[in-house]
Structure 1
């Protein structure tokens, strides 16, 4: 071997070794799909019903995965630390569950216990999970269970088990819902059964919701047994030793017939492995829109896991033909979405948790990377308005739930308009948004206030300039906390004023801008905090800014004081100027760092006295924006410093025992993590007449966003951080397409033309860059 060959071989060896130690520099450098970079078990020990997803498509109607716990919305679903499977449910959605199947061997259980004692242990050591696929081994029955799906059809494959039967659990508690009236009918065809099950009303979802299904098997059904005590069923099959038992179960929220149509259109065949590949490709197409380079393999895996979560939770409720459940009126009806010339729906209709906090998360991420998804969700939200007269803030089962507070969907829609993603029917949309923020609109209602419009305190807010705490002696719903309501309403008023101004509604713009200043009425200049005041205008006595709730929603006064995204200059003036305000916030971060910037490692710990007394909580929505506030106080180097600290302490690692350290509401915390790691943010939620993207300190060396050609002129937008490292977090200088960039704010419409931002990084702040 000559010296040149030897050196080349040595070089390859060293590069390979470094890759093994530090992680390959490019997310897909090994050629593996992006889905294999995702770790679905992140934080799974703290799963709630709709948190964990495995064998599902993006926003799928079917969200098929194993259930280890089934009681209640919070401690249920796939809980990593519970080692027994109780079934494979097809619906894990906001306030909804669906048919559950459990493969069993009746000979192992015993005839008298078939419907009571059916769970099986399993081991994580023999488990395989990636987006679109879940496989585990049921020890009790010696059955290998594999799951995948299309958007509306769950696909099961059970191997190695002799005498396998299927238990259909259709009645009893399933996560958030008590399931009742579950029935199975055997079809004239011996390989098909149909049925339905009803999600009974909950505190959050006021009306029942029926899930219809059709299940087809690859072997004939031998018999169907119903248990008179539970109302559940066992399906027995003819001799099936020669091949795996396979099941296709399609669902619909409108009819059994539509469930069968969903199956026929989406999954006519039996090629399980091909469906897994198709699901993998669908996920890959979405995940590959962002490519990161640099960091370790673990950091890259965490990034794509966060990005995957950003596309989670919210679920399709419309059928392949566009039929959907409309529960917004007095009587249930089957609605029909508009279709194109070929009969294909122009968009899907969705079930969704609240958009509370979306202004700092999916507004920015979807509006830049997934404008097609953002547009579709806007059309769905407007369909609810056309049906029921209000734009929802968290619909479930085709109906309003009034989850959380305010008109939280409004900034999402406004942002889509301001970015040019929504271009048509703007006047009609504006009038709907305006209705949402006036008496009789959704802002009038507090969380889960189904039958009155008092708890929102909107009339008091309009007449007196704030929502008092307490509002009254009567509790009308949840989250009746006046300061947080006032702050939220003020931001949403400012957002609507921007659209009003754009559309030429100058009088409306002036009206809502005036309302947006109401935040000043709950700022106490003596204590220096946002502070509750009662109807008489008297400040709350014995006020403790570190006491959670008591006037604040899922936050304390120290955290919520910074919720003035639309007028941080005004907030700074109330605090005595930029230096005083930034010093106060910097002190808050220094205190919060001692507790890891979160109120414990899960949402259930946030009210615990040991964790709740924290001035900044990056485990929940009210504190999402705080690191980027320093930009607006003319201290961008502190944004760079603290945002990187938060990413390191809160949003790194791949542990099953922690991950989001709080309330990962359907992709919001995942979205925030992705944005912070890219060094991108939008304080005003994209609602300005000219939406701005704020530049911070990216965690990766190079990030490339592939822009959607149907919405943006550019092919891609790249952020390159030179000399980036865990220590070199400070921006020294920046350029945009070769020209000096002296500001931390860039109009989105410039970025989406395509190009490159180059950041020179170092371990000491440059206090000149980005300042006014």
Structure 2
């Protein structure tokens, strides 16, 4: 549906969703039947966790992301780490480059106040722990305190059960907390059980401006003493009333204490802890339940909903319930307000977000098909940054540009939304904003974390000479100044913008950006058959090893990055000597990558390992996650079907804290990719072409049903039915949609969202082999 229209109220995303919850799911909450929430395994991959990775007591995209922290020193190796057996606090913000307000219930009788900077952490036992989306329960062994956590969007809700007369709550307003150093904390008691205050996330290399967090704390028991025994920003609230349960609400705001109070009163005016747990559970079930699966093992079903759960979190709301938000895009900090509906609700939400680098193959497809209202809200948020600061961001934190990663990675996301008929935003402004991003002075000109200049991205060279040199002759101005990677990325993003220009009838712009999209050819070396670094005067880098990590390639090696031409795979194959030679080359890369499990080890930190770094395909990071789907574009859908299933069942399988995404999950990107591989749908360009198409690759389940949001797509549910899928045969013998045979295993977005049945007849496992011949 290509319909223009007014911006839709964002609050309807999670509140007005009766179409989402099937009777079957609702019954499941009161019976032995498991709902999607019951199937999620939150501890997946938490031995390799980073600050924003783990979630428990939070809502989808909530400002509050409340969970226990076992490590707090730095952005990496911090947060909830499964093998660390001590809790150091329960903090409310686990965002990319942001943290805030850690609290800890304690027994004062077990703390020596005379010891400076005393360690107040407590051991805990996973055997006594319960974790599910929206809820976390554990026991603090040292203090003999049961802790339960849940939340609304902007309010953390705690329930402690004290077995002591000396119960207290420690409020930590200083020191390192994940990625941020917490400074300038203050706390004021405004009533016997009510406190308000603020703290500051000090600047980081990635987020160069300080970010304040305001809060309001309300307890259902009075506090008779507030002390600062160590004079280091760790305050102790001594509770009245002895043993028993204590409830505590903690509301947040990035704008003011008054708005923290508003958020609390608006979202949590009562003290019914169980009701909030149930509300959170229901909200998660509503979103997760849009995709229903049958078949496969219980472990495979659990892993699927865990992947889908990861696809719906990590990126966090920063606006208050009344629409106020922090604008840190200019020299002077401002508090602005989003447009409101007639009832006073924000028409959309504003977000913190890691980069959209790689989103074209992940959340582009998943969100824009299954959660179009979420995609639309993010588009409006990105455009709000443009209105405030003059650029669409790559990944904002605290209302502040960070310039994380490279290129104009938000362009494919916005163009993909438009091409799929998601248009509740100012289309003309969106085009204006993206075009500015692709020209000198725009975000494409900046390297990773390049805050003060616009030279590191090499955009001037790309426009004038047709490629970004490596090394950049101007010098070092940021991170990821890798000429070949930048050239490939810019060329693809230019192609996406050209499609937007074509759709809007901007013929001159279409021709200009289409011409730029061919620049990838200028970094392909025909003598070696690889994309290769080239210096300012046109000399190829010597010596050159396409399996060396880095050296011109961002978080990849040359073998992986050579295939980053999603918009012109036929042109790339011609450079390689034709489709047959390109297929043989890529197939050999997959055969070699299979020996190492298709990833550079089991965590992002292992990518530089001498052996793992040389892997020719890496599904643990974004630059080569599209490669299994390339074969189909070169006339070999059987190889796409085979390798996509091999990757899904090797990389994105199992339920263990020891591994899960085998690399850098990046706020839902790998979770989304895993979901798409398991339902058998993919879009090579992120759906940015004039008529977006889906590749059909075969699901791992026998039946999948996708509910469509009727505000965007008026069709019936999409049913994917796989016959003869015993043993998860990778090959599709025939495919039909609503009874009409599909000749090339592709289906348009326009047809798919009308709803109906995609019928797949799978071939026996020995039907074909996976050679390139």
TM-score range, shorter chain: over 0.9
1:93 to 85, 92, 95: 95
More displaced stretch, 644-653 vs 421-430: 421-430
What secondary structure does 2:611 align onto? helix
For the residues of structure 2 that align with 1:113 and 1:49, how far apart are their CA atoms? Answer: 29
For the residues of structure 2 that align with 1:744 and 1:612, how far apart are their CA atoms? Answer: 34
What secondary structure does 2:138 align onto? strand
Aligned 8 A contact 2:353 2:397 in 1: yes
What secondary structure does 1:91 align onto? strand
1:681-720 correspondence runs (5 A): 681-720=682-721
Per the TM alignment, residue 739 of structure 1 is displaced from its structure 2 partner at its CA by 1.2
Alignment partner, residue 74 of structure 1: 76
For the residues of structure 1 that align with 2:343 and 2:290, how far apart are their CA atoms? Answer: 29
Alignment partner, residue 6 of structure 2: none
1:34 to 36, 47, 67: 36
Per the TM alignment, residue 763 of structure 1 is displaced from its structure 2 partner at its CA by 2.5
What secondary structure does 2:454 align onto? coil
Aligned 8 A contact 1:219 1:240 in 2: no
Aligned 8 A contact 2:113 2:229 in 1: no
Per the TM alignment, residue 744 of structure 1 is displaced from its structure 2 partner at its CA by 1.6
Alignment partner, residue 177 of structure 1: 180
Per the TM alignment, residue 160 of structure 1 is displaced from its structure 2 partner at its CA by 3.4
1:449 aligns with 2:475: no
Alignment partner, residue 149 of structure 1: 151
For the residues of structure 2 that align with 1:474 and 1:741, how far apart are their CA atoms? Answer: 52
1:161 to 160, 163, 171: 163
Structure 2 gap ranges (5+): 1-26
For the residues of structure 2 that align with 1:83 and 1:228, how far apart are their CA atoms? Answer: 25
1:262 aligns with 2:266: no
For the residues of structure 1 that align with 2:304 and 2:654, how far apart are their CA atoms? Answer: 10
1:454-509 Cα deviation digits (max 9, x unpaired): 00000000000000110036321111101100000000000000010110100000
Aligned 8 A contact 2:70 2:81 in 1: yes
For the residues of structure 1 that align with 2:187 and 2:727, how far apart are their CA atoms? Answer: 58
Alignment partner, residue 6 of structure 1: none
For the residues of structure 1 that align with 2:102 and 2:668, how far apart are their CA atoms? Answer: 25
What secondary structure does 2:751 align onto? helix
Per the TM alignment, residue 240 of structure 1 is displaced from its structure 2 partner at its CA by 3.2
Alignment partner, residue 605 of structure 1: 606
What secondary structure does 1:321 align onto? coil
1:76-103 Cα deviation digits (max 9, x unpaired): 0001110000000000001000100011
What secondary structure does 2:148 align onto? strand
Alignment partner, residue 121 of structure 1: 123
1:592-621 Cα deviation digits (max 9, x unpaired): 000000000000101111211100000000
1:319-718 correspondence runs (5 A): 319-472=320-473, 474-718=475-719
For the residues of structure 2 that align with 1:427 and 1:167, how far apart are their CA atoms? Answer: 51
For the residues of structure 2 that align with 1:246 and 1:113, how far apart are their CA atoms? Answer: 29
Alignment partner, residue 10 of structure 1: none
1:549-575 Cα deviation digits (max 9, x unpaired): 110000000000000000000001111
Per the TM alignment, residue 227 of structure 1 is displaced from its structure 2 partner at its CA by 4.1
TM (normalized to structure 2)? 0.95
Q: Mark the CA change 1:358 to 1:601 in structure 2 (over 3 Å): closer, same or farther.
A: same
Aligned 8 A contact 2:218 2:248 in 1: yes
For the residues of structure 2 that align with 1:340 and 1:415, how far apart are their CA atoms? Answer: 26
1:144-164 Cα deviation digits (max 9, x unpaired): 111000000000001133121
1:2-40 Cα deviation digits (max 9, x unpaired): xxxxxxxxxxxxxxxxxxxxxxxx999952221111000
Per the TM alignment, residue 767 of structure 1 is displaced from its structure 2 partner at its CA by 8.0
Alignment partner, residue 13 of structure 2: none
For the residues of structure 1 that align with 2:402 and 2:767, how far apart are their CA atoms? Answer: 48
TM (normalized to structure 1)? 0.95
1:216-251 Cα deviation digits (max 9, x unpaired): 00101111112453122111111232x301110000
For the residues of structure 1 that align with 2:692 and 2:676, how far apart are their CA atoms? Answer: 16
For the residues of structure 2 that align with 1:100 and 1:424, how far apart are their CA atoms? Answer: 37
For the residues of structure 2 that align with 1:318 and 1:695, how far apart are their CA atoms? Answer: 38
Aligned 8 A contact 1:703 1:718 in 2: yes
1:133 aligns with 2:155: no
Q: Mark the CA change 1:27 to 1:456 in structure 2 (over 3 Å): closer, same or farther.
A: farther
